[in-house]
Each structure stands twice: as structure tokens, then as C-alpha cells.
Structure 1
Amino acid sequence: MAGPEDVSTLVRRMQECFNTRQFDDAADLHTPDFVSHPLAATGFDAGRDAWRALTARFPGMRVVAQDILVDGDKAAVRSAVEGVATTEGTPPELFEIFRVVDGRFAEMWGASTGFPSSASPEELLG
């Protein structure tokens, strides 16, 4: 099992892939049978498609981990979302829980808050 520092590094590597739009590189960070519960999909292809849809809608979007809490094989991550204009004045946030197997993401649950109406990741991708 990977240690907390390894899992934190894995989360930051994934966010760097998103922020630099190196979506294909992120595939290696996920197991072949990775499960995204928000997308109801297996494999990283759906995640890559979701990232492309989000960045097409919000070209300046970046995610920055604020908190990474590791407990055994799971990590809870709270991330600030930059580059998304809101009318409320507070930046959106993502909340994700990852299960890690052999140093790779195997499963993910997630939710968001603060996105403009009808523009949350769940609504854009669901």
C-alpha cells in the first residue's frame, strides 16, 4: 500500500495533468478497471472525455488541492477551482474521495459546490 506522501503526490500529479491539459498522461495514474462513480463509468476514457468537456466550457479552469487526507487506501481531497467565474463571488470547490491500489487510482467518488447554475461538473457531464 502506498503511504500518505505517495498518495498526496499521486493526487498532485493528476491535478497537474489536468491543469496542463496533458489528459493522456493521466491515464497511467489510473488502474485499467478504474471506476468513476459520478460518471458511472469504468476505465479512464470517460474521465478524459469529462476533462475535455469541462475545459472546453471553462478554458481557464485549474484545480488546486487545498486538503488531502489519507486513511489507508483512501484519500479525501478538497480542491479549489480557479478560472471559473461565479456570480456568488466564492470560487467553486471539488470534493473527491479516491481509492488507491498499487499506487494508482482505482475508484473515485466526487461532488462539487459553487459552480454557476447549470454549469457544475455533474450537470455538464451527467
Structure 2
Amino acid sequence: MTAREDAGALVRQMQECFNTRRFDEAAALHTPDFFSHPLGAGFEAGQAAWRVLVARFPDMRVVARDVLVDGDRAAVRSTVEGLALPDDAAPPELFEIFRIEDGRFAEMWGASTGFPTSASPEDLLT
């Protein structure tokens, strides 16, 4: 498998864990010292954030649209489905950059766009 295929498979595994609410299984996809820069914390904080999001938006799902790989970095653009949006609104998007170490996520940087004001991950989790 190529680095792009490996990174794409890792992203899909993580999103499958999120979409099926198997948050504990996602821990194995992250290094023990994984660090989320947006949260300023490790995987456990990210796992708690996932729980907050799906409690508020039980139909929420993420779908990777683009995975670009450069060395040990993977940039991912995902759409977010399952949120109540105005009819003419485009689905919200997540933009994440992961550093991958030994086949696992080691670091993450991220941002989002298009979320309704009350549904922005940055607003919910701060």
C-alpha cells in the first residue's frame, strides 16, 4: 500500500469509529501522546468532544472528501452530514491536518466552516 492509501484508510477508520459511535475503538488509531492543537489536549479530550457533539447532534456524520498526503502529514477535507440546515445551505466542512507516526495519528490541527452558529465545533467545545 502507498502512504496515501495507508493515510486514507486510517482516516476512514477514524471516521467510521465516529460515525458508528465506537469512540473507545478510535483510541487505538492514535499514539499514546497524541495532541489535538485545536483542543490543546490529548485524545481523551477529543473523545469527550465527540461525545458532546453527538449528544447534541445525534444524526451527525463525517465523510472524507479529499485526503492529501505529504510525507508524514495528511490533510483531510470532510463534509458534515446530519445537521438541520437551511434548504440552500451547503454542508459544513472540516479541514484537518494530521501528523502520522508509525501508522497512527500523532498530532492534529483543524478548522471548520459552514456550521450554523449554534453548531460550530469550536463554540461547542470551548
Q: Bin the TM-score by the shorter chain.
A: over 0.9
Long gaps (5+) in structure 2: none
Of 21-30 and 78-87, deviating more is 78-87
Whether the aligned pair in 2 keeps the contact of 1:97 and 1:110 (CA below 8 Å) is yes
Correspondence list, 1:1-126, <5 A: 3-42=3-42, 44-87=43-86, 89-126=89-126
Of 83-92 and 96-105, deviating more is 83-92
Q: 1:50-102, CA deviations, whole angstroms, 9 ceiling, x for partnerless residues?
A: 00000011100000000000000000000010001123521101000000000
Aligned partners of 1:37 and 1:53: how far apart in 2? Answer: 18
SS at match of 2:98: strand
Aligned partners of 1:120 and 1:46: how far apart in 2? Answer: 17
Aligned partners of 1:3 and 1:119: how far apart in 2? Answer: 34
Please give the TM-score of this superposition, normalised by the length of structure 1: 0.95
Q: 1:3-53, CA deviations, whole angstroms, 9 ceiling, x for partnerless residues?
A: 1111110000000000000000000000000000010102x1111100000
Whether the aligned pair in 2 keeps the contact of 1:78 and 1:96 (CA below 8 Å) is yes
Aligned structure 1 segments of 4 or more residues deviating by more than 6 angstroms: none
SS at match of 2:91: coil
Please give the TM-score of this superposition, normalised by the length of structure 2: 0.95
Aligned partners of 2:13 and 2:31: how far apart in 1? Answer: 15
Whether the aligned pair in 2 keeps the contact of 1:18 and 1:51 (CA below 8 Å) is yes
Long gaps (5+) in structure 1: none
**1:118: Cα distance to partner?**
3.1
One-letter amino acid matched to 2:61: R
Aligned partners of 1:34 and 1:86: how far apart in 2? Answer: 33
Aligned partners of 2:97 and 2:83: how far apart in 1? Answer: 22
Of 31-40 and 85-94, deviating more is 85-94
Matched-pair identity in % = 73
SS at match of 1:118: helix
SS at match of 2:54: helix
